[in-house]
């Protein structure tokens, strides 16, 4: 049975519309991939790499695990598109020095370079106001949960104070394998740290020189 001309024209019009939508949306979706290559041009190996969405409070797992990224090497970071384009990136060199890049639009870059060659818009991005300052006198550090259970409270206080202050986790918890970035004002390096596990056990570390720390591990 033949299709009437008006119906045939309607079907052809719908088909053309679908083809046009596919041609427009397919490139746009391809541009939303946050994956990129991290390139080391620092002159020394990188021992740890962390990448997390900028709205996430935790760094997550070291993506290098037990490996090292040598000077001149690159490491492919394959990220799920659902993670979004704005990512925070942290590396730790073999000498213990950390370096961070905040709020990077990784959907718009092919590679991110750490080291002397780290120039241009593909490597740099705007720094978040709470980015960790580098150099001496920086007491900020990462508190790492390598235990089997969750941490429900974290307190960090200068030894010059007589109270612990507010719980830095608030209503959140710190699961096993996750990091909490502890931001402290520059210059006050000697601090006390207290955590409370989900089962109510507490642990304290007293008179820590946090300016000499990158990671403080509880397990």
pLDDT digits (tens, 9 = 90+) for 120-156: 333 333 333 333 333 346 888 889 999 999 999 999 9
Percent of the chain at pLDDT > 70 equals: 76
Give pLDDT, residue 18. 63
User: How far is it, in rounded angstroms, from Cα 19 to Cα 25?
Assistant: 10
Q: What are the domain boundaries of the chain?
A: 36-115, 141-218
Residue 149, SS3 per DSSP: coil
Radius of gyration of the chain (CA): 24
Residue 200, SS3 per DSSP: coil
pLDDT bracket for residue 116 (50, 70, 90): low
Give pLDDT, residue 213. 83
Joined together, the tokens standing for residue 124 give: 């740099």
User: How far is it, in rounded angstroms, from Cα 173 to Cα 170?
Assistant: 8
Phi and psi at 96, nearest 5°, equal 90, -5
- Round the average pLDDT of the chain to a whole number and report it: 80
**Predicted confidence (pLDDT) at residue 3 exceeds the cutoff of 60:** no
Joined together, the tokens standing for residue 149 give: 């259970």
Query: Contacts from 106-110 at CB under 8 Å and sequence distance 24+?
Result: 106/34, 106/35, 106/36, 106/79, 107/31, 107/32, 107/33, 107/34, 108/31, 109/36, 110/36, 110/37
């Amino acid at each position: 049975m033949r299709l009437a001309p008006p119906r045939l024209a309607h079907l052809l019009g719908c088909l053309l519309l679908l083809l046009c939508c596919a041609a427009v949306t397919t490139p746009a979706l391809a541009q939303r991939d946050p994956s990129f290559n991290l390139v080391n041009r620092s002159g020394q190996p990188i021992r740890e790499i962390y990448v997390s969405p900028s709205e996430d409070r935790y760094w997550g797992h070291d993506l290098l695990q037990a490996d090292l990224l040598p000077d001149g090497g690159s490491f492919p970071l394959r990220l799920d598109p659902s993670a979004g384009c704005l990512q925070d990136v942290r590396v730790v060199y073999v000498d213990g020095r950390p370096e961070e890049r905040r709020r990077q639009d990784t959907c718009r870059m092919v590679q991110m370079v750490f080291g002397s060659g780290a120039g241009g818009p593909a490597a740099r991005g705007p720094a978040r106001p709470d980015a960790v300052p580098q150099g001496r006198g920086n007491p900020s550090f990462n508190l790492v949960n390598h235990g089997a259970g969750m941490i429900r409270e974290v307190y960090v206080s200068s030894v010059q104070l007589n109270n612990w202050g507010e719980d830095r986790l608030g209503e959140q918890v710190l699961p096993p394998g996750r990091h909490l970035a502890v931001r402290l004002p520059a210059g006050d390096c000697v601090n006390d740290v207290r955590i409370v596990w989900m089962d109510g056990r507490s642990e304290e570390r007293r008179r820590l020189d946090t300016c000499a720390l990158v990671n403080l591990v509880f397990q």
